[in-house]
Structures are given as C-alpha cells and as structure tokens.
Structure 1
Amino acid sequence: MKTIGLLGGMSYESTLEYYKKINQAVQKKLGNSHSAKIYMYSFDYEALMVLNQGSDKTPLTKRLYEEFEKLKEVGSDIVSLTANTMHLYIDGIEEKIGIPLIHIVDAALDEARLLSLNKVLLLGTSYTMSSSLYTKPFYKEHKEVIVPNLDDQAWINDIIYHELIRGIFSQDSKKRLIDMIKMYQKELGFDGVILGCTELPLLIKKEDIDIPLINTLDAHVNKIVTEIFKD
C-alpha cells in the first residue's frame, strides 16, 4: 500500500471528508483495523485565497509546489490536493516533484465516461466555472461542458465562500441550487451535473436530483485509493 500525501485545508470541511473516505475505503478493502498511510499539510485557506485574488498566480503556484515537495520528502509515494480550484495552479508541478499527482479532473472524466455523459453542467467557484479546467479535457473527448450565467455563477461562488467552507449548510441555499439545476436542465438539456467544488457535495446529494451527478470529491477519492493499491 502506497503512502498518499495530501494538501488540505481548502477548505477544512472537504478535507475532513477526504481523510474519512480514503480511510474508510482502505479499511473496507483490507479489513480488520487497517487504515490509509497519509501525510497531510493543511493550509490556512485565507492565506491562499489572498494569493488567489492577485493577478499574478506565481506566488500561489510556488506555495503549492513547496508543500508538495515537503510531502515527497517525508515519504509520500503519490500526492494530491483536496480542492478543484487549486488544480488551476498546478501545471508542471508533477514533473518537478517527480512522483504521481492524482488530478481531480481526471477522476471526474473517468466518471463521465462510466456514466456515458456527453453534455454536463459544471458548478463550482467562479474561478473554476470561468476557466478551461474542465472544458478543455472534456472537449478532447467530445464532451461538452456548460456553466450557469454570470449572475448564477456569482451566487454559487458566494455560498461556497461564505457558507460551505465555514460549515454553514442552508436548506434555502440547497433548494435554490437544486431549482437552478432543474431550470438549466429544462432549458439546455444536459445529461449530467459536475459538482466541481469539493464543498458542494456537502450541500446536495445524488438522490436530490433525478439526473446523473458527478461528485468530484468521491470520484477523486476513488481514484486516489485505486492508485494507493496499484503495483
């Protein structure tokens, strides 16, 4: 069993889910009292958010790289990070650190293939929804990624940063988000939804909507666990 190095704290709410679910999956596979071998560095998320607000993302990428290097130095065989948005700033890091970096978009794409999804609605932070993080790799496989309008993007971004990462899970926000998904599904006719923020699955679940839902946190955990046991 390989040792996984995780960058967490982005936010602590989703990081807790990663830690719990990775360990649960390992215990289920190996039985008895087994658990995963994990090294973790948990960021002060506020400090990362300040770096992310700047136009120059080099300092942010540098911080992520520095902590990935430390995870490698202490003995991690593979590494990953517990947030979608921060994947925007890790290009080239895998080659620099020289060990596998398990990417959340690869995990989501695996799930889209499994579910035979060809047109998906992406929900996440404004950074993620306005970027090519998902659109580019999905397009390469002839899969279309659409996003809400700018007003709805702003509202989703607001509940992520002012509610979900602070452990606030409002039933009003849940209802509005579910209604929004239903509205866009009726108007645009997509065949699946990507919860492209690892806090969003803490608010809505697969059973809340009647179309396929890609929980990127769960998909990512599954891919990490697969890599842990890969020869």
Structure 2
Amino acid sequence: MQTIGLIGGMSWHSTASYYRIVNETVAARLGGHASARITLQSLDFAEVRACQLAGDWDRAAALLTDAARACVAGGADVVAICTNLMHKVAPQVEAGIDVPLVHIADAVAGLAAPQGWDRLGILGARWVMEETFYADRLGRHGITALSPDAADRDLVDRVIFDELTQGRVEDASRRAYVEVIERLAARGAQAVVLACTEIGLLVSPADSPLPLIDSADAHARALAEVALSPAFA
C-alpha cells in the first residue's frame, strides 16, 4: 500500500471526512484491521482564507506547496489538496513536488463519465463557479460545467464561508441550495457537483432534485483506490 499525503484544514470539517472515507475504503477492500497509510498537513484556514480575500494566490500557493513537500518528506507517495477552491493553485503545488497530485476534478469526472453525464451544475466557492480552472479541468473529460446565476452564486458562496466552514448547518440554507439546484436542472444540468468539500454536510441526495456528486467523497475514494492500485505501486 502506498502512503497518501493529505493537505487539509480548509476546513477541518471536510478533512475529517476525507480521513474517514479513505480508511473506510481501504478497510472495505482489504478487510480485517486494515487502514490507510496517511500523512496529514492540516493548515490554519484563517491564514489561507486571508490569502483568498486579499487575492494573494502566490502566498497561498507557497503555503500549500510547503505542506505538500512536508507530506512527501513524511513518506507520501501521492498527494491531494482536500478542497476544491485551492486547486486554483494546483499547478504550482504539482510543480513543487516529485510525486503525483490527484486532482479533485478528475475524481468528479470519474464518477460522471460512467453515468453518461456531460452537463454538470457546479456549486462551490465563488472562484470555483466564476473562474475557469475547475471548468477547464472537467472539460478535459468532455464535461460542460454550468454555474448558477450571479445572485445564486452570491448565496452559495456566502453559505459556504459564513456557515459551513464554521461548522454551522442551517435548514434555511439547505432549502435555498435545493432551489438553486432546481434552477440548474431547468438549464439542462444532468447532475450537480458539490464542488466545495463542505456542501455534503448540508445537502444530501435525498434533498436534491438532481443526482449529486460529492467532490470530497469522490476524491477520498479515488485516493484510496490509487494508493491500493498495483499499477501505481
């Protein structure tokens, strides 16, 4: 088994889910007392958030690259950024290490393709919905990303940072998200990507009028499979 390096803390709530899902996947595959080999660098989200708000993406990239290198120094054979938004700096992080980086959008596409879904609604932080780094990565797999309209993007982003990343889960926000998903469905979305690793704490498949791809779940399971793959070893 290979060692997985997790760059987490953005926020810690979803990083805890990564740890659980990776270990559950390994245990299900190997049985017995098996668990994953993991090295974790948990960043101070307040510092990362300050970089986001200031638009200091060079500083953010440096923080994550240092964390990735620490994972590798701790024995990681593969590294992952446990957040969708910070894949904005994934190219810089990947360039700074000599082991593979498993991209979260590739994991999402890996679940969409077998279903024949090529038009996916995207719910995430403002930068994920408005910039091209995430949509372009999905586009490599033949997937078109549909972002909500401006008012809905404001709502989705506000709930993420004012509530979910601070551990608050509000019923009113769940209802508002479901309405956003309904509007994406009306525009032709076949499924919706929860492209913030905290949204799965708020919206479940039972709530949604469309199928959901929980990016945190998809990414964590993909990491476990990569680490267990003989081809990777």
Q: Which residue of 2 aligns with 1:54?
A: 54
Residue identity in the other structure for 2:202: L
Q: Which residue of 2 aligns with 1:99?
A: 99
Alignment of 1:1-231 (within 5 A): 1-186=1-186, 188-231=187-230
Aligned pairs, how many?
230
Task: Give 4+ residue runs of structure 1 displaced > 6 Å after superposition.
Answer: none
TM-score by length of 1: 0.95
The 3 A distance-change label for structure 1 pair 41 and 31 is same
Residue identity in the other structure for 1:72: V
Residue 129 of structure 1 and its aligned partner are, at CA, apart by 0.6
Residue 216 of structure 1 and its aligned partner are, at CA, apart by 0.6
RMSD: 1.3
Percent sequence identity is: 29
TM-score by length of 2: 0.94
Give CA deviations for 1:126-162 in whole Å, capped at 9, x if unaligned. Answer: 0111111232133344322111111111111111011
Residue 67 of structure 1 and its aligned partner are, at CA, apart by 1.1
C-alpha separation in 2, matches of 1:184 and 1:118? 14
Asked if structure 1 preserves the Cα contact closer than 8 Å seen for 2:65 and 2:92, the reply is: no
Aligned to 2:91, the other structure's residue is in SS state coil
Residue 42 of structure 1 and its aligned partner are, at CA, apart by 0.8
| Structure 1: 5+ residue stretches without partners | none
Residue 93 of structure 1 and its aligned partner are, at CA, apart by 2.6
C-alpha separation in 2, matches of 1:74 and 1:123? 34
Aligned to 1:207, the other structure's residue is in SS state coil
Give CA deviations for 1:13-52 in whole Å, capped at 9, x if unaligned. Answer: 1011001111111111111122111110111101101112
C-alpha separation in 2, matches of 1:228 and 1:74? 16
Residue 205 of structure 1 and its aligned partner are, at CA, apart by 1.2
Asked if structure 2 preserves the Cα contact closer than 8 Å seen for 1:10 and 1:82, the reply is: yes
Residue 190 of structure 1 and its aligned partner are, at CA, apart by 1.6
Aligned to 1:127, the other structure's residue is in SS state helix
